[in-house]
Amino acid sequence: VLVAASSKHGATGEIADVIADELRTRLPDADVVRRDLDDGDTLGEVDAAVLGSAVYMGRWRKPARRFVELNSTRLREVPVWLFSSGPLGDPPVPAGDPDVGALVTISGAVDHRTFAGRLDQANLTRAERLVAHTVGAPSGDFRGWADVRDWATAIARVLSEITATV
């Protein structure tokens, strides 16, 4: 099971780490591989994939979009889950999903989930700080670890059902 994400400032990578940990706990016989989508476009031999990206300006990061586009044929042959990390604040804004409809379609994803993100002013580039200030994005860590773990648990349940019927 591939768990891979594209993260600019680390928040999305840590969500992927938690998903991978949860899958390893729930599926002790599975080989859960944790990768960074910025490290290359090769999908490799996988039986399932959980792919995610941080959201900037309403879209997934380019390496993540490219990975799904280049591997869409093979991804459609295996169960795929997509997740996004973006909205900030309490309640998180923007509400709703980023622009991932085409990625869901071409990957044949079972599900797409948007998780709240983290914005740490100290780590931003000057341009990012300006955008964050202009749109009034609040600083802080709004990631909901229980939501992330629940989603991973649901994925593990589906994967163990598939394995049981093979």
**Site for ligand FMN, rule CB under 6 A:** 7-13, 54-58, 85-88, 94, 98, 117-119, 124, 128, 131-132, 137
Tokens of 56: 């900037």
Least separation in angstroms between CB 84 and ligand FMN: 7
Q: Which is nearer to ligand FMN, 79 or 98 (CB)?
A: 98
Q: Which is nearer to ligand FMN, 31 or 120 (CB)?
A: 120
Q: Which is nearer to ligand FMN, 78 or 132 (CB)?
A: 132
Least separation in angstroms between CB 112 and ligand FMN: 13
Place of tokens 């080989």: 31
> Following CA atoms 48, 52, 58, 62 in sequence, which dihedral angle do they give, to the nearest 10 degrees?
-90
CA distance 84 to 12: 8
Q: Which is nearer to ligand FMN, 94 or 108 (CB)?
A: 94
* Sheet strands (E) in the chain: 2-6, 33-36, 49-56, 59-60, 80-85, 111-115, 118-119, 140-141
Least separation in angstroms between CB 71 and ligand FMN: 21
Q: Which is nearer to ligand FMN, 58 or 157 (CB)?
A: 58
Least separation in angstroms between CB 3 and ligand FMN: 14
Contact call for residues 52 and 100 (beta carbons, < 8 A): no
CA distance 5 to 141: 18
Least separation in angstroms between CB 68 and ligand FMN: 17
